[in-house]
A and B are shown apart, each in its own frame.
Chain A
Amino acid sequence: MVGAMEIYMLLPKTNCKKCGLDTCMAFAVGLLGREKKIDECTPLIEEKKYEAKLKKLREVMAPLENASETGLIIHPEKCFGCGNCVVACPVNVAAEPTRCGVGLGPQSDKVILKVEDGIVVCGNLEECRRFGPNKTLCNACTATCPSKAIEFV
């Protein structure tokens, strides 16, 4: 997964403030958090000397486009369907304590993570602890994944 530093290295690093932020580092963090878009960095788009950097930046940012509102990315090709995340997710357990709480698969649609056709799928993202401005950095689903099939941006 790409980090803020890696993105920063691909920016002009002039701190021109044209994007509305004070530094290019802040813009890199904004890009990673998906609060900013690449196009907002006008020098990078307009000036020819940054062409190679822009191309590379778009490449490294491409996987992030598939991320959900909370920054959750599921790699279906890596998923075992083991359901560790389904059972570990605190929101899932709160929604179905008699099922997810004791290791069974969920029945209702109130849960965030569930396994369908052998692969984990997510829904109800507004319930996730990482959603919205008051988010907490919960990592129950990523820490319990044996194959690194779930990641957060």
Chain B
Amino acid sequence: MAICTGCSLLCEDIEAAEKDGALTHVKNLCRKGHGHFQAAFTERTVPMIDGEQVDLDRAITKAAEILKSAKSPLLYGWSNSTLEAQAVGIELAEKLGATIDDTSSSCQGILMERILSGKLPTCTLDDVRNYADTSIFWGSDPSSSHPRHLSRFSYYPRGEKRQKSYEEERTCIAVDVRKSATANLCPNYYFQVAPSGDAQFMEAILAVLEGKIPRVGDKKKMIGLGSILKKTEWGVIFAGLGMVYSLQEKMDLFEKLLARLNEITTFKVVPMVGHYNMRGFNELLLEKTGFINRVSFKDGKPAHGPEHSVVAAAKTCDAALIIGSDPFSALPFGTARALAKVPLIAIDPRRSLTTDGAKVVIPSALSGLEAGGTGVRMDGVKIKFEPIMKSDLPTDEQILTRIMEAI
């Protein structure tokens, strides 16, 4: 059995075997995972310095030189690396006195912080399958982002206490700004909110739970939602980026809602993490420094703050190492432009806009397919995986260790 690293579900039931350098008849892999694995056969990176192909040793030496001579380097990415590689990365940041940040900084960071510090109650996805009778997809569309989420855990499978599953015992509710593919599966329980209207919607739910008339939305439908929530035995909210971006500093309101729901019944939160090991990095950094992201080791000890986020650090750093991420495509234009001005080192198995713009490109093995390691699923369960294919390419961990040795 292979493990798919296409998203943070880390599906464990994939049947794949290599035949003549290709993967065919892969069983149980969703379309997203299939695309993720097939991309390993096209557009691979080669070691490059200033756009010219060089050998791997030279690229690694050059990368070490750039990092060594930089005064305030930035190490960014990490969400698509194994736990082992991330541990070496944090060590490297300490050694360099660098700023280290991952994709959660501009993604689910504020939610993850509250979950890892215990402010929001959480559970594993196996608990969801076994006990949950109400699944709320808030600002998330797993049918598109995590295709197997509903079929493996949250709606369709039978569980220990949910033998009748979606037909009788489970309710699926979608709260979103548009009728997503997931909302199509529960048209009766789809609640449309205005863009950035999530806080108002939360207040409306709190009002309904107190027996008051809600101010927003269809009043009858909201009262119906209130009674579903009250009747729930074991509920779970899958908080997606839509909700996190919309709430921002109003995150306390979400805490308040969860506290109120837990007075009535059991309600948990599971963050809909995108990349396969974002949570792993957050947990690892929290353990080592006490912060989940945006850490600077400049003065010897870890400092945390918005000034150390990738968006701010991109403008102040004088060199950057990007690993397993494509900030040129994903981050705001201003940040990408600032990053493009400094010497960049990109470690990536595949070609991206960032590798195209980087000074040094170091190819790495694709984790899950060509490299083994450990990943942390969106709910915090550690999953170990072995490579499916043989590859001569070094893993992220090996590359980072070699860079560290050369500094």
Q: Is B30 touching A87 in the complex (CB atoms < 8 A)?
A: no
Cβ of B184 and Cβ of A82 under 8 Å apart? no
**Central interface residue in B25, B28, B144, by most chain A CB within 10 Å:** B28
Min Cβ gap B396→A in Å is 25
B140: shortest Cβ distance to chain A, in Å? 13
Chain A residues numbered 68-101 whose CB sits less than 8 Å from any CB in chain B: 79-84, 86-88, 93, 99, 101
Task: Name which of A82, A102, A107, A114 has the most chain B CB atoms within 10 A of its CB.
Answer: A82
- Compute how far the CA of A44 lies from the CA of B31 in the bound complex, rounded to whole angstroms: 44
A81 touching B152, Cβ below 8 Å: no
* Given A102-B159, A103-B151, A144-B156, A79 contacting B181 (CB threshold 8 A): no
Q: A87-B157, A103-B156, A146-B181 are in contact. Are A82 and B29 (CB under 8 A)?
A: no
Tell me if A105 and B143 are in contact (CB < 8 A). Answer: no
Contacts of B26 in A (CB 8 A): 116-118
Q: A115-B27, A117-B26, A146-B143 are in contact. Are A104 and B181 (CB under 8 A)?
A: no
Q: Is B61 an interface residue (CB 8 A)?
A: no
**With a CB–CB cut-off of 8 A, which chain B residues contact A83?**
28, 30, 147-148, 151-152
B385 → chain A closest CB, angstroms: 16
| Closest-CB distance, A64 to chain B (whole angstroms) | 24
Rounded to whole angstroms, the CA-CA distance of A116 and B182 in the bound complex is 22
Contacts of A15 in B (CB 8 A): none
CB distance from B178 to the nearest CB of A (A): 14
Given the known inter-chain contacts A80-B144, A88-B166, please indicate yes or no for A103 contacting B157, CB distance below 8 A.
Answer: yes
A118 touches B30 (CB 8 A): yes
**Contacting pair B29 A115 (CB below 8 A):** yes
**When the two chains form their complex, are residues B30 and A82 in contact, meaning their CB atoms are under 8 A apart?**
yes
Residue of A nearest to B6 (CB): A118
- In the complex, are the beta carbons of B182 and A117 less than 8 A apart? no
Q: Collect the chain B residues with CB atoms within 8 Å of residue A116's CB.
A: 25-27
Q: Give the distance to chain B from A153, nearest Cβ to Cβ, in Å.
A: 21
Task: Verify A84–B156 contact, CB threshold 8 A.
Answer: yes
- A80/B31 in contact, CB under 8 A: yes
* Residue on A nearest B29 in the bound complex, by CB: A118
Q: Is the CB of B31 within 8 A of A87?
A: no
Cross-chain pairs A/B with CB under 8 angstroms, 8 sampled:
A80-B30, A81-B31, A82-B151, A87-B156, A102-B129, A117-B26, A118-B29, A146-B182
**Besides the contacts A88-B156, A103-B152, A147-B143, what 14 more A-B pairs have beta carbons closer than 8 Å?**
A80-B147, A81-B31, A84-B151, A86-B151, A103-B157, A104-B152, A105-B28, A114-B27, A116-B27, A117-B34, A118-B30, A146-B181, A146-B184, A147-B181
